[in-house]
Every structure is written in C-alpha cells, then in structure tokens.
Amino acid sequence: MTNSKKDINVLALFGSPRKKGNSTLLANRIILGAESQGATIESVYLNGLNIKPCQGCYACQKEDSKGCAVDDDMQNIYPKIIEADALIIASPVYWFTMSAQTKIFMDRCIAMYNEDNKKSRLYGKNIAIAMTYGDKDAFSSGCINALRTFQDAYNFVGADIAGMVYGSAEEPGEIAANEELMQDAEALGKKLVSTCA
C-alpha cells in the first residue's frame, strides 16, 4: 500500500552568526509549525561556510552551463534548494538590510536562473521569511529594505512567498517573549507546508 500524501521537504537557511539569535528563534517557530504538518526539515547555517561573493563572470548564464563556476560551499547548497519544496530564510537586520551572510547567499542564487529561457530552479518554490531588528520600527531599522529585496528577487524568479514574520528585539533571545509574533511564525510554518501539498 502506498501513501498518496506527498512528503514535503523544507530547507531552512539561517543567515545570523548567532545560532541562538532572535531571527533563528523566530525561524525555529516556523519550523515547529511546518513539522506539525509532517514536513521534513533540513537546516543550513550560512555563517562559517565558505561562500564567496558572486564574481559576475556569468558562467552560469552561458549555453550548456553546469551552473555556478565558483567552487565553494554553495555547490553543496544548490542541490538542497533544488530538492526542497519550500525554503525558510532567516536573517537579522544588519546596517539597514539583511545580514551579509544572507545577501551573499541571495546573490549566488543567480546561478539558478537562466537568462536565455527565463527559467529558474526556484520557480514555484514556497518561501517563508523571518527577520528581526534592534530598532522599534520596521522602516527605520531597514527591515523593510530587506523584505522588499526578498519580494523583488523571488517575484522575479517565480517563487511564492508564503509569508513574512518580523519583529523588534535588542538582546539575544528577547524575541521569544513576543508570543503573538511567535504564534504568527508557527502559523506561517503550517501555511508554508499546506501551500506545497
């Protein structure tokens, strides 16, 4: 007897240098919601990986390209993205936008898009975003800049943003006290999986 229900694989990408930081805690609550719906989660912490900035060589855009020519740890992440049904991306706000670790990852995803046929390996993937910032406001903190970058990039490649959760927290772990936001994050995890089914 075969199970007709599709197994949902979710790749969580953490862009904070703190493994117990606020954006990580918020993303972990998204994961909790996703797991409650039967999803399998794989987590990747970008900090500490050898991921070089995009070199602008456009080798990934050439005819019969095998993808990105830069030989580093992104080569291990590309197949994980391709195999995943959905992504969770978490980042703190650093200097008015996403962290450098997250931005380098985002830039290197150009290798998953082909200019000639206007297709992306990210097409149709569901994405949840988690962000935290130290200011009182999503605008003055620069969080809105990062959220807009996610919206523009994923709209361009035809991915679907299932939702975004974001909130203010100064000290590491402080975000956990915002129970309303944490509940929203868990609900987003459930939505992320349900939109993949």
Instruction: List pLDDT tens digits, range 15-55.
Output: 999 999 999 999 999 999 999 999 999 999 999 999 999 99
User: What are the Cα distances from residue 197, in Å, to 7, 9, 44, 139, 162?
Assistant: 9, 11, 23, 34, 13
Q: What is the torsion angle, in degrees rounded to the nearest 10, for the CA atoms of residue 52, residue 53, residue 58 and residue 64?
A: 40
35 vs 65, which has greater pLDDT?
Answer: 35
Rounded CA separation 104/94 (Å): 13
Percent helix, percent strand, percent coil in the chain, to nearest 5: 40, 20, 40
Kind and range of the H or E element at 127?
A: strand 126-133
Q: For 2-24, how does the pLDDT look when each residue is reduced to its tens digit (9 = 90+)? A: 444 579 999 999 999 999 999 99
pLDDT over 70, % of the chain: 95
The overall pTM is greater than 0.85: yes
Q: What is the pLDDT of residue 117?
A: 56
Q: Is the pLDDT of residue 162 over 50?
A: yes
Give the residue from 116, 21, 18, 14 showing the smallest Cα distance to 64: 116
Q: Where are any strands of DSSP class E within 5-117? A: 9-14, 40-45, 86-94, 97-98, 113-114
Q: Is the pLDDT of residue 178 over 50?
A: yes
Rounded CA separation 192/160 (Å): 10
What residue ranges define each of the domains in the chain, with the CATH number in brackets?
A: 9-194 (3.40.50.360)
Which residue do the tokens 């949840």 mark?
128
